[in-house]
Chain A
Amino acid sequence: MLDFYGLSNLFATVTNLGIAFLVYTKGHNSKLARIWTLFTLCVAIYGFGGFMASGAKDYDSAFFWWRLSYVGVILLPAIFASFVYTFLETKRTFFLNTIYLVTAIVWLANIFSKTLFIGHVTLIFTDSKWFAPAWFVYPPGPLHIFHTVFLYFILLTYLFLRLVLAYKNADPLKRTQIKYFTIAMVLGFYGGGSSYLPCFGINIYPIANITVPLYTFLIAYAIIRHQLMNIEVIIKKTLVFAGLLASVFAILILPTLLIQEYILRGADTGSRMAGLAISGIIIIMSVRRIENFLINITDKYLFQKKYDYKELLKTFTAEVLTVLELDKLVNLTVNKLTDIIKLGSAAVLLFNEEKQHFNVVAAQNIKDSSVTLIRPDGIVTFMDETHGYVLMSELREKNISIPDSIQEIIDKLNAEIVIPMVLHEEVIGVLSLGKKKSDENYTQDDLDILLPLAKTLAIAISNAELFVKLGKTQAEAAQREKMAVIGTLSAGINHEICNPLGIARGQCEAFLLNLKDGLYKNKTSEELIEKAKSIMVKVIKETDRATAITKKLSGFAKPSKGEAEIIRIDKELDEVFGLVGYELRLEKIEFLKNIQKDISDLFVDKKQFQEILFNLIRNAGQAIGEKGRITITAREEGRKVYIDVQDTGSGIPEDKVKQLFNPFFTTKDPGKGTGLGLFIVRQVVEKNGGRIHLKDTKVGEGTTFRLEFPVPAREGLKVN
Chain B
Amino acid sequence: MAKPRIVAIDDEPEFIDMIEGYFGLRGYEINVAVRGAKGIEVIKEKSPDVVLIDLKMPGIDGDEVLKLIKSMNPSPKVIFITAYDDGGKTRARLLKMGSYACLDKPIPSLRDLEATVNKAVSK
Contacts and interface: CB of A to CB of B under 8 A. Distances in A.
B84 A506 contact: no
A538 B56 contact: no
A501 B26 contact: no
Interface stretch (A36-44, A237-245, A510-518): A510-518
A503 B12 contact: yes
A502 B15 contact: yes
Contact of A498 (B18, B21, B105, B111): B105
Interface string B77-97: 000011111100000000000
A304 interface: no
A490 B86 CA distance: 8
B109 interface: yes
B12 A498 contact: no
B41 interface: no
A498 B106 contact: yes
A503 B26 contact: no
B106 A506 contact: yes
Given A495-B84, A501-B105, A510 B26 contact: no
Given A494-B85, A495-B84, A586-B56, A506 B110 contact: yes
Highest count of chain A CB atoms <10 Å: which of B12, B84, B105, B107: B105
A498 B83 contact: yes
Contacts of B21: 510, 514
Given A491-B84, A498-B106, A514 B12 contact: no
B85 A491 contact: yes
A503 B109 CA distance: 12
Contacts of B26: 517, 519
A497 B14 CA distance: 15
B100 interface: no
Interface residues of A, number: 26
Contacts of A162: none
A512 B8 CA distance: 22
Contacts of A306: none
Interface in B50-95: 56, 58, 61, 81-86
A495 B15 CA distance: 14
Main secondary structure of the interface of A (DSSP, over half): helix
B123 to A, nearest CB: 25
Contacts of B84: 491, 494-495, 586
Highest count of chain A CB atoms <10 Å: which of B18, B21, B25, B109: B18
Interface in B9-51: 12, 14-15, 18-19, 21-22, 25-26
Contacts of A588: 61
B32 to A, nearest CB: 14
Given A506-B15, A509-B109, A513-B110, A499 B22 contact: no
Interface string A471-515: 000000000000000000011001111110111111101100110
B111 A504 contact: no
Given A495-B83, A502-B105, A519-B26, A513 B14 contact: no
A509 B58 CA distance: 27
A477 B111 CA distance: 47
A8 B55 CA distance: 115
A496 B58 CA distance: 14
B85 A513 contact: no
B82 to A, nearest CB: 8
A507 B106 contact: no
A499 to B, nearest CB: 5
Contacts of B104: 498
A286 B81 CA distance: 107
Nearest to A542: B14
A498 B81 CA distance: 11
B64 to A, nearest CB: 11
Given A494-B85, A517-B26, A503 B14 contact: yes
Contact of A507 (B18, B58, B61, B83): B18
B18 A506 contact: yes
Nearest to A498: B83
Interface in B107-123: 107, 109-111
A630 to B, nearest CB: 17
B105 A519 contact: no
Contacts of A494: 83-85
B22 A495 contact: no
Nearest to B14: A503
A514 B26 CA distance: 9
Contacts of B61: 588
A510 B85 CA distance: 24
Given A510-B22, A513-B22, A514-B25, A499 B15 contact: yes
Contacts of A519: 25-26
Nearest to B13: A503
A515 to B, nearest CB: 11
Nearest to A506: B18
A16 to B, nearest CB: 99
A506 B85 contact: no
B85 A503 contact: no
B106 to A, nearest CB: 4
Contacts of A514: 21-22, 25
Given A510-B110, A519-B25, A586-B56, A503 B18 contact: yes
Given A491-B86, A586-B56, 16 more contacts: A495-B83, A495-B85, A497-B83, A498-B83, A502-B106, A503-B18, A506-B15, A506-B18, A509-B110, A510-B18, A510-B110, A513-B22, A514-B21, A519-B26, A586-B84, A588-B61
6 contacts: A495-B85, A503-B106, A507-B14, A519-B25, A519-B26, A586-B84
